[in-house]
Structure 1
Amino acid sequence: MPHDLAAISPVREPRIGHYQLLQTIGEGTYGVVKLARHIITGVEVAVKVIDRRGAYRPRREVKTMKRLNHPNIVKLYQVIDTEYTIFLFMEHASRGNLFRYLRRFGRMNEHEAQRMFRQLISAVHYCHQKDIIHRDLKAENVLLDAELNVKLADFGLSSTYVGRKMYTVRGSLPYLAPEVFLSECYDGPGADVWSLGVILYEIVTGKWPFMAVDETGLWRKIMRGEFQLPYFVSFLCKNVVKKILVLTPESEQLSNS
């Protein structure tokens, strides 16, 4: 049976290897994510479908994910590479991503936020121990399983480092650390930590710490470190956020932050 989606009859649900592709559950810059079911076991997985004829090649993403084995990081099960399409079969997080969850249910109470943030820190710290920087930490890339456990995803912009500095700007603007915008080199793990601070703020308030009417205004606020914490955020949580979202990071590792 042919593997490429374009070659499969639209009347039936397409089969790729031992999986049956179902509905689309997400869309990204480089392709769509579909739900799939293993024909023999019935286990549901997520499949990133990437057009080989496009500019994106997932070699880095695949290489990185093969090195990772952590309960709070999405697992890569299989890669099927065909003439026109690359299929990445991964662990399925049934509750979707954190961004959509917060938009639907609003901010979390701090007890729930603490549990979730601990899992996210554990996942990122593990990556840093493996000399891997995520470089695109944001609520959309924090997936949630049925029990609301964190599953960190999307390593397409990830990079390895061995004590070297970074130069390129990578990531989503509301989550970028101020030093990333500067022309000078910056500390990769430190930039990941800043993004974690933005996510923590988002979890406990339901919005970003830095907001403006346009990108220029947003850039200025990030560069100045201008944000306000609402009255309902506890002193302890405020203290954590303020220690993370600092303009002059001193640590190079998440464990030292």
Structure 2
Amino acid sequence: MGMPLSDTPAEVETNRMLESFGYTVLGNIGGGSFGQVKVATSIKHYKHVAIKILDRRRMSSTEAKYFLERELAILRILRHPNIVQVYEIIAMPTGKVFIVMEAAETDLAKKLKRVANIPENQAKKWFSQLVSAMVYMHEKDIIHRDIKCENVLLTVDNQVKLTDFGLSDFSLGFPMLTQCGTFHYLAPEILMGVPYNAKKSDVWSLGVLLFVMLTGRLPFRTSRPKDLLRLQHRTLDYPWWLDIGRSCRDLLSKMLEVNPNKRPSMAMVAQHPWLLPCYKR
């Protein structure tokens, strides 16, 4: 489980620190917004755990003050069955921070590399869980700002868990200006650099994710910001679009509405007829 361990002095020291807290590192499983992630066994929790490792010494003062502290504050608040559970946050005097959380079987991006797409009935179940998590977050005035397939974990019991809150923030009712997120999932208003309602931008990103789940493709494929903005204004009429059920297409069209004022809230998405049969708060 995970990639082989590195034997650099820094890695060895980190692994020793974790072992002193009851965690035996097995390998590396990737990285988040501002740190690497390891998989370990835990004598505390009697299971595999994922440990996100952050180092204040390698961050600028701005990153340490705004991004790290905000992520830690948000993680201490969130408690939802479809949001990755945090077991422990360990802050070391050396500046390192270990965020210990539940480990998952894989993530949605890796799943989509193995299969062409997710069948609509299965996609509906997973998507309803993500919407439930996002409604919960938005009700607490917390925005994710980096919704994408890589940040959706899949568990052994076929549940999804939203993860990586490194770019998350508190939404206090004011328009935001920070341009952040993953390029192909960015809402038009973020690309245009205008003040935006971040909750509505989360809705857009989740709409892109749903499209990718159902088709195995990005709805807007380009590497240039100007071209992405142009494509976002076009009607979704690709051949594989017709393989999606009518009700689901209606939901996607609403979530991928270019005008954020016409785009539904996350709570409205939860009430769409396509989701209602399996949506749970």
The structure with more helix, counted as a fraction of residues: 2
Within the candidate set 23, 26, 35, 1:19 is matched to 23
Q: Quick one: structure 1 residues 9 and 130, their matched pair in 2 at CA, closer, same or farther if it must change by over 3 Å?
A: closer
Q: Quick one: structure 1 residues 12 and 204, their matched pair in 2 at CA, closer, same or farther if it must change by over 3 Å?
A: same
Match of 2:216 in 1: 206
Q: Does 1:221 align with 2:241?
A: no
Match of 1:101 in 2: 111
Match of 1:42 in 2: 46
Within the candidate set 87, 96, 108, 1:85 is matched to 96
Deviation at 1:213, TM superposition (A): 5.4
Q: For structure 1, list consecutive stretches of 5 or more residues without a partner in the other structure.
A: none
Deviation at 1:17, TM superposition (A): 0.6
The answer (yes or no) to whether the contact 1:225–1:245 under 8 Å persists in 2 is: no
TM-score, structure 1 as length reference:
0.89
Within the candidate set 118, 123, 128, 1:118 is matched to 128
Read off the aligned partner of 1:73 and give its amino acid letter. I
Deviation at 1:168, TM superposition (A): 1.2
- Deviation string 1:184-227 (CA, Å, 9 cap, x unpaired) is 311111000011110110000001100025444223313x2453
How many residues align? The count is 251
Q: Does 1:165 align with 2:175?
A: yes
Moved more, 66-75 or 242-251: 242-251
- How many angstroms apart in 2 are the aligned matches of 1:238 and 1:40? 46
- How many angstroms apart in 1 are the aligned matches of 2:97 and 2:216? 35
Deviation at 1:103, TM superposition (A): 1.3
Match of 2:247 in 1: 236
Q: For structure 2, list consecutive stretches of 5 or more residues without a partner in the other structure.
A: 1-8, 270-281
% identical aligned pairs: 37
Q: Quick one: structure 1 residues 28 and 67, their matched pair in 2 at CA, closer, same or farther if it must change by over 3 Å?
A: closer
Deviation at 1:122, TM superposition (A): 0.3
Match of 1:253 in 2: 265
Read off the aligned partner of 1:20 and give its amino acid letter. T
The answer (yes or no) to whether the contact 2:179–2:193 under 8 Å persists in 1 is: no
SS of corresponding position for 1:219: helix
TM-score, structure 2 as length reference:
0.82
- How many angstroms apart in 2 are the aligned matches of 1:247 and 1:215? 15
The CA RMSD measured in Å over matched residues stands at 2.3
SS of corresponding position for 2:58: coil
Match of 1:138 in 2: 148
Moved more, 188-197 or 82-91: 82-91
Q: Quick one: structure 1 residues 85 and 242, their matched pair in 2 at CA, closer, same or farther if it must change by over 3 Å?
A: same
Deviation at 1:233, TM superposition (A): 1.4
Read off the aligned partner of 2:136 and give its amino acid letter. Y
- How many angstroms apart in 2 are the aligned matches of 1:159 and 1:252? 20
Read off the aligned partner of 1:141 and give its amino acid letter. N
Q: Quick one: structure 1 residues 84 and 11, their matched pair in 2 at CA, closer, same or farther if it must change by over 3 Å?
A: closer
